[in-house]
């Protein structure tokens, strides 16, 4: 694949996509049996049919590295072409160093500056903004890999219906680089409201509540979520972000070919789409296949949309994200036809055994 030569005059867009799902699948039957509910109960309330679970020896970086490798290959590039590697995650390998450094080492991407961005389920778009502006400010920008990854199942209370039925593991990555006008990202808008930070969090393990016997006894190492508050936040924020993006850019919904969004709950998303007048031909929903994989949701949905030709060269996509913090964001993406490689779950173990 050929791309315009790196130059500060070019817009920055996506030139390659990749994703990775662990091989282990958690079905509604399995989760329902543990929670004392039926598979139909889970499906009716969430729309999630299955989710993937990392192996005991798989950390976030083990999921992210194959996704980045696939995105770089899809872009027709080499790891030496990366000048930046940004990882968005709320389930890092360790509190420090950054998970991006672990990914960089595994991929031998020694020329890339590696760093993490933490904005929960909004994280990939926050990371993409960092990469976009980084490349635009360079006199001769190179290419940046931006990966969203979560290993949520390591932090799930198996007795908690509100989280066990939704959260799962996976990774998705994009390579950002110069594209031909009018392609690329425009109109990034990001936001946060820290007064709502307690609505979704893992309270134990940080400097406020270091890991210990007491945090384990209290379940502090599990994800805690106030589902009602989060649902109300999404119901208010998603339509608002769509309307504001359209207004700022003097567009109507008919001008948008595809809406790519975070995947908190397929049932909720479908309902909000109907309210906005968005059918599933334009609102990409993949949460039924993978559950909520946090910072990986949005890039995974974009990779899936490209693979299914739900977004085609010349299309205008509206990207919308929201997550814990609370955080949110949107951007317009003029699609230029980047390649998409999706790694099948059956291939996951093979990649795990071989060098990435």
Catalytic residues: 121, 262, 292
Q: In 3-state terms, what secondary structure has residue 132?
A: helix
CB 155 within 8 A of CB 355: no
How far is the C-alpha of 227 from the C-alpha of 204, rounded, in Å? 19
Q: Which residue from 340, 328, 232, 349 is spatially nearest to 286, judged by alpha carbons?
A: 340
Structure tokens at 318: 């509206």
Query: CB neighbours of 125 closer than 8 A, spacing ≥ 6?
Result: 188, 190, 298, 319, 321, 329, 330, 331
Structure tokens at 5: 């030569």
First to last CA, the chain: 21
Q: Which residue from 120, 50, 52, 46 is spatially nearest to 270, judged by alpha carbons?
A: 46
Q: In 3-state terms, what secondary structure has residue 190?
A: strand
String of b and e for 169-178 (b: at least 16 CB within 10 Å)? bbbbbbbbbb
Tell me the backbone φ, ψ of residue 255, rounded to 5 degrees.
-80, -10
């Amino acid at each position: 694949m050929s791309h315009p030569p790196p130059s500060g005059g070019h817009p920055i867009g996506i030139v390659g996509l990749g994703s990775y799902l662990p091989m282990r699948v958690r079905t509604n039957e399995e989760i329902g049996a543990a929670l004392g509910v039926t598979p139909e109960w889970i499906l009716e309330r969430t729309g999630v049919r299955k989710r993937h679970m990392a192996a005991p020896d798989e950390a976030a970086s083990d999921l992210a590295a194959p996704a980045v490798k696939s995105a770089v290959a899809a872009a027709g590039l080499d790891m030496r072409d990366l000048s930046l590697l940004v990882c968005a995650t709320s389930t890092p390998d360790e509190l420090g160093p950054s998970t991006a450094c672990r990914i960089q080492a595994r991929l031998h991407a020694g020329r890339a500056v590696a760093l993490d961005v933490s904005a929960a389920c909004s994280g990939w778009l926050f990371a993409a903004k960092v990469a976009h502006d980084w490349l635009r400010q360079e006199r001769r920008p190179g290419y940046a890999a931006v990966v969203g990854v979560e290993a949520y199942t390591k932090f799930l209370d198996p007795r908690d219906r509100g989280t066990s039925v939704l959260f799962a593991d996976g990774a998705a990555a994009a390579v950002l680089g110069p594209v031909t006008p009018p392609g690329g990202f425009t109109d990034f808008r990001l936001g946060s409201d820290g007064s709502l930070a307690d609505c979704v969090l893992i309270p134990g393990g940080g400097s406020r509540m270091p890991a210990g016997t007491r945090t384990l006894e209290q379940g502090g190492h599990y994800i805690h979520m106030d589902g009602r508050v989060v649902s109300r936040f999404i119901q208010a924020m998603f339509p608002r972000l769509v309307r504001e993006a359209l207004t700022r850019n003097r567009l109507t919904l008919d001008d948008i070919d595809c809406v790519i969004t975070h995947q908190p709950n397929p049932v909720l998303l479908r309902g909000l789409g109907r309210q906005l007048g968005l059918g599933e031909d334009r609102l990409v929903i993949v949460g039924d296949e993978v559950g909520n994989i946090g910072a990986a949701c949005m890039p995974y949905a974009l990779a899936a949309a490209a693979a299914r030709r739900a977004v085609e060269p010349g299309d205008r996509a509206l990207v919308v994200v929201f997550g814990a913090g609370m955080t949110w964001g949107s951007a317009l993406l003029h699609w230029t036809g980047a390649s998409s490689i999706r790694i099948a779950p059956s291939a996951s173990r093979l990649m795990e055994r071989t060098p990435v």
